């Protein structure tokens, strides 16, 4: 015969059950980053790290240059950034993202003069001028972002340090794309992106009929892994996929997903 629980213990069990239901009792990671919030590094940049890169006109990287969807929006990557200028708000990113993959498959280094932009071709060299103090810096755009509010560019820690807005976190800036004349400029700036990309892959994470649930899962994966996650129709069902990525990044992310508990993930050709 089951005994009746005391009222206060019964209420406690109900609250625990509700919390478990809301969180889906998931064992999946809350984030792929070791830090919950970004932070300033423990040391200042060295003199060598403050040196700016020499602008070059380069062909598009093999990944990170396709149209992508994120947070319910579709972003069209520019085919040619010559003549591009923009004025708006800049932010910066540092310790939390240091050592993680950028959108073009490189490793983010907060002590390198780099930046993230939503639609510039990767890579593109740009001059960023802080309109509060007229300081400027040349950076190499190799990542996607920022996706917060009206910010137009996310600068590395060292670039923000040189522009003098670390303490404020943001600053009004002007961006100017740099395209120095070189012997191979015409080839580099007019080669179609599709012609320079190698085979790419999606990573399938989930599949089913409930599109609402799968869309929510895609949004969660975007938040956790900071990569494009979308739903696609698939033989009468729908699937949640990440990507597309080049093969090397696909394989690295597959290993990370499996280590995080997504045992049934696999890659699918993007062709």
235 and 265 share a domain?
A: yes
Q: In this structure, is residue 35 part of a structural domain?
A: no
Is this model's pTM higher than 0.85 or not?
A: no
Mean pLDDT (the chain, rounded) = 79
CA distance 69 to 112: 27
Question: Side by side, which strands form the sheet with 237-246?
Answer: 229-234, 237-246, 200-208, 266-269
Q: What is the mean pLDDT of residues 88-96?
A: 89
More confident residue, 3 or 99: 99
pLDDT at 181: 65
Lowest average pLDDT, out of 2-6, 88-92, 265-269, goes to 2-6
The model's confidence at residue 255, banded by pLDDT at 50, 70 and 90, is confident
pLDDT in tens, 175-219: 999 988 643 444 344 444 443 446 788 999 998 888 888 888 888
Q: In this structure, is residue 134 part of a structural domain?
A: yes
pLDDT at 137: 96
**Is the separation of the CB atoms in 125 and 159 below 8 Å?**
no
Domain boundaries, position 218: 198-269
The model's confidence at residue 37, banded by pLDDT at 50, 70 and 90, is low
Q: What is the mean pLDDT of residues 62-68?
A: 89
pLDDT at 97 over 60: yes
* DSSP assignments along 16-47, one per residue: HHHHHHHTTT--S-S-SSS-SS----SSPPPT
- Residue 35's contacts (CB-CB under 8 Å, 6 or more residues apart) are 95, 96
Most confident residue range from 49-58, 93-102, 154-163, 203-212? 154-163
Residue where one domain finishes, among candidates 161, 192, 223: 192
Q: In this structure, is residue 259 part of a structural domain?
A: yes
Share of the chain above pLDDT 90, in %: 32
Q: In this structure, is residue 27 part of a structural domain?
A: no
The phi and psi torsions of 167 (rounded to 5 degrees) equal -65, -40
Q: What is the mean pLDDT of residues 125-137?
A: 96
236 and 159 share a domain?
A: no
The model's confidence at residue 38, banded by pLDDT at 50, 70 and 90, is low
140 and 245 share a domain?
A: no
| Residue 118 CA, distance from chain mean position | 9
Q: Cα 63–82–175 angle (5° rounding)?
A: 85
186 and 103 share a domain?
A: yes
Residue where one domain finishes, among candidates 175, 192, 209: 192
More confident residue, 13 or 232: 232
The model's confidence at residue 39, banded by pLDDT at 50, 70 and 90, is low
178 and 227 share a domain?
A: no
pLDDT at 209: 87
pLDDT in tens, 9-24: 444 443 434 333 333 4
């Amino acid at each position: 015969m089951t005994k009746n629980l005391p009222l206060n213990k019964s209420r406690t069990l109900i609250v625990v059950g509700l919390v478990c239901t809301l969180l889906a009792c998931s064992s999946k990671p809350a984030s792929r980053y070791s830090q919950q919030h970004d932070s300033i590094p423990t040391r200042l940049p060295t003199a060598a790290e403050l040196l700016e890169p020499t602008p070059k006109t380069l062909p598009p990287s093999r990944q990170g240059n396709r149209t992508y969807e994120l947070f319910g929006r579709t972003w069209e990557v520019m085919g040619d950034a010559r003549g591009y200028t923009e004025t708006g708000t800049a932010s910066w990113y540092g310790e939390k993202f240091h050592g993680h993959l950028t959108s073009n498959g490189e490793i983010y280094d907060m002590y390198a003069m780099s930046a993230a932009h939503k639609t510039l071709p990767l890579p593109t060299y740009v001059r960023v001028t802080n309109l509060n103090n007229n300081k400027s810096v040349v950076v190499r755009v190799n990542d996607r972002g920022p996706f917060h509010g009206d910010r137009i560019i996310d600068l590395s820690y060292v670039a923000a340090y040189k522009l003098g807005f670390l303490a404020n976190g943001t600053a009004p800036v002007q961006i100017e794309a740099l395209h120095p004349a070189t012997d191979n400029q015409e080839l580099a700036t007019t080669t179609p992106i599709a012609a320079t990309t190698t085979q790419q892959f999606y990573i399938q994470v989930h599949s089913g009929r409930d599109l609402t649930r799968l869309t929510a899962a895609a949004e969660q994966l975007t938040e956790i892994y900071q990569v494009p996650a979308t739903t696609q129709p698939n033989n009468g069902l729908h699937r949640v996929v990440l990507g597309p990525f080049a093969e090397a990044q696909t394989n690295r992310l597959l290993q990370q997903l499996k280590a995080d508990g997504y045992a049934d993930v696999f890659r699918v050709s993007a062709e």
